[in-house]
């Protein structure tokens, strides 16, 4: 990997270390998740980087893709299993990581399983290792704790301005022979006491630029423009848009109807099992 690219990754990682430290004091009982997400995003900018997507704060059986809505009243309750997923980028080079907290508790068996599986996977990652070898370590470690991996959620490669590049690295055992090369990858472990599958659910709070299309509403045109310029074709959310709440849903619907943007619905464990997540990015070399 070129020196300049590596420097961007190092800067993004450095910022993410500081943001994680800062976040630890925030994820507490009775805290509003809107306050947590907004203060983390503000901190990222203050430290000279940008959020690669809205901070995801997903609770209990919600595995991913929840980010606070405009005026979101949700607060953290005791025993809630809270996953905080952040992407921090410098010039498009993204550091992707996530951790889970059980509110009011030191830890939780699901958290321990997710962190152990992440550590075991990181230990074996090197150039030439096959995707199936990483997945096997993840599933075996999770099974030792008596839990299930979420089979349809995956780790992944990272490329400039691409938060989900090949290869996909599933949490469940498979036969994928693809070898990891000199690249940035995120190992992303999801553990549940449920069946181990997520499904699309409601609401949808995260969107991303797909392609230029003509749209009628001026607000829709404004969102499409921002998705390219301000958000650099990376994921964004409603509370970032500064558009009248009365027009926002209609504008987003128009953009979805003409296939101008992607949408990322909230992902829930299909048997409503509790979910913990542990994720880290690593530069393989
Ligand atoms: Mn992530
Ligand atoms: Mn990820």
54 and 190 part of one domain:
yes
Other C-beta atoms closer than 10 Å to the C-beta of 285 total 11
Query: Rounded distance, CA 4 to CA 180, Å?
Result: 21
What pLDDT, on the 0 to 100 scale, is given for residue 83? 98
Do 170 and 197 meet the contact criterion of CB atoms below 8 Å apart? no
Whether 212 is catalytic is: no
118 and 57 both lie in a single domain: yes
| Catalytic residue selected from 139, 188, 270, 280 | 188
Residue 276 and residue 160 share a domain? yes
Please tell me whether residue 257 adopts helix, strand or coil conformation.
helix
pLDDT class of 236 with cuts at 50, 70, 90: very high
Give the active site residue among 41, 61, 85, 270. Answer: 85
pLDDT digits 0-9 by tens, 177-229: 999 999 999 999 999 999 999 999 999 999 999 999 999 999 999 999 999 99
Same domain for 44 and 148, yes or no, is: yes
Is the confidence at residue 24, as pLDDT, over 90? Answer: no
Residue 234 shares a structural domain with residue 273:
no
Range list of β-strands (E), the chain? 50-51, 56-59, 62-64, 81-90, 93-102, 148-149, 154-159, 162-170, 183-192, 198-209, 236-237, 261-269, 275-284
Whether residue 50 is found in the same domain as residue 163 = yes
Say if residue 49 is in the same domain as residue 190. yes
Cα distance between residue 200 and residue 202, in whole Å: 7
Q: For residue 186, how far is its CA from the centre of ligand 1 (angstroms)?
A: 8
Q: Are residues 21 and 60 in the same domain?
A: yes
Domain range for 151: 3-199+268-284
Residue-wise burial string across 111-139, b where 16 or more C-beta atoms lie within 10 A, e elsewhere: bbbbbbbbebbeeebeeebbbebbbbbbb
Residue 252: the pLDDT is 98
Are 187 and 235 members of one domain? Answer: no
One domain, residues 273 and 225: no
pLDDT at 1 > cutoff 90: no
Residue with tokens 């619905």: 265
Q: Is 164 a catalytic residue?
A: yes
| CATH (domain of 134) | 3.90.230.10
Ligand (nearest to CA of 98): 1
> pLDDT per residue over 144-168, tens digit each?
999 999 999 999 999 999 999 999 9
Question: Is residue 96 flagged as an active site residue?
Answer: yes
Q: From the CA of 63, which ligand is nearest? A: 1
pLDDT in tens, 26-35: 999 999 999 9
Do residues 70 and 245 lie in contact, with contact meaning Cβ atoms separated by under 8 Å? yes
Sign of CA dihedral 210, 163, 263, 45: negative
Q: Looking up tokens 């995003």, which residue turns up?
A: 41
> With contact defined as beta carbons under 8 Å apart, do 97 and 19 qualify?
no
What value does the mean pLDDT take over residues 90-99? 98
Kindly report whether the peptide bond that precedes residue 246 is cis, defined as omega within 30 degrees of 0.
no
- Catalytic residue status for 10: no
Same domain? For 144 and 189 the reply is yes
Cα–ligand 1 centroid distance for 235 (angstroms): 12
Is 188 considered catalytic here?
A: yes
- The Å distance, Cα 260 to ligand 1 centre, comes to 24
CA 233 to mean position of chain CA atoms:
16
> What is the tally of structural domains in the chain?
2
Same domain, 24 and 163: yes
Cβ-Cβ contacts under 8 Å for 261 (sequence gap 6 or more): 207, 208, 209, 210, 223, 224, 227, 252, 255
| Pair of tokens at residue 181 | 């090369």
Instruction: Quote the ligand 2 centre to 246 CA distance (angstroms).
Output: 32
DSSP-derived letter for residue 178 is P
Ligand number with the minimum distance to the CA of 165: 2
Question: Do the beta carbons of residue 41 and residue 55 sit within 8 Å?
Answer: yes
Please say if 108 is a catalytic residue.
no
What is the pLDDT, as a whole number, of residue 255? 98
Of 191, 126, 120, 123, which Cα lies nearest the Cα of 153? 191
Q: Is the pLDDT of residue 57 over 90?
A: yes
CATH number of the structural domain spanning residue 237: 1.10.10.10
Ligand in nearest proximity to the CA of 277: 1
């Amino acid at each position: 990997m070129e020196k300049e690219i590596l420097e961007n990754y190092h800067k993004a990682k450095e910022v993410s270390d500081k943001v994680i430290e800062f976040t630890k004091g925030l994820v507490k009982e009775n805290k509003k998740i809107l306050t947590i997400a907004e203060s983390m995003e503000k901190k990222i900018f203050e430290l000279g980087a940008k959020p690669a997507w809205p901070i995801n704060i997903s609770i209990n059986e919600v595995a991913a893709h929840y980010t606070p809505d405009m005026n979101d009243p949700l607060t953290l309750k005791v025993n809630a299993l809270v996953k905080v997923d952040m992407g921090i980028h410098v010039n498009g080079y993204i550091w992707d990581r996530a951790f889970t907290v059980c509110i009011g508790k030191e830890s939780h068996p699901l958290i321990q399983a997710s962190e152990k599986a992440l550590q075991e996977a990181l230990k074996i990652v090197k150039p030439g290792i096959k995707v199936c070898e990483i997945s096997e370590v993840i599933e075996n470690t999770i099974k030792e704790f008596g839990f299930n991996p979420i089979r349809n959620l995956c780790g992944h490669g990272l490329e400039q301005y691409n938060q989900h590049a090949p290869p996909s690295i599933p949490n469940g055992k498979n036969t994928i022979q693809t070898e990891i090369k000199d690249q940035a990858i995120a190992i992303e472990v999801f553990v549940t006491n449920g069946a181990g599958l997520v499904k699309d659910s409601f609401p949808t709070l995260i969107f991303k630029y797909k392609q230029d299309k003509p749209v009628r509403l001026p607000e829709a045109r404004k969102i499409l423009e921002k998705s390219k310029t301000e958000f650099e074709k990376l994921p964004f959310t409603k509370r970032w848009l500064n558009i009248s709440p009365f027009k926002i849903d209609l504008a987003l619907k128009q953009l979805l109807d003409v296939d101008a943007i992607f949408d990322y619905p909230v992902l829930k464990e299909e048997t409503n099992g509790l979910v913990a997540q542990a994720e880290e990015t690593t530069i393989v070399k």
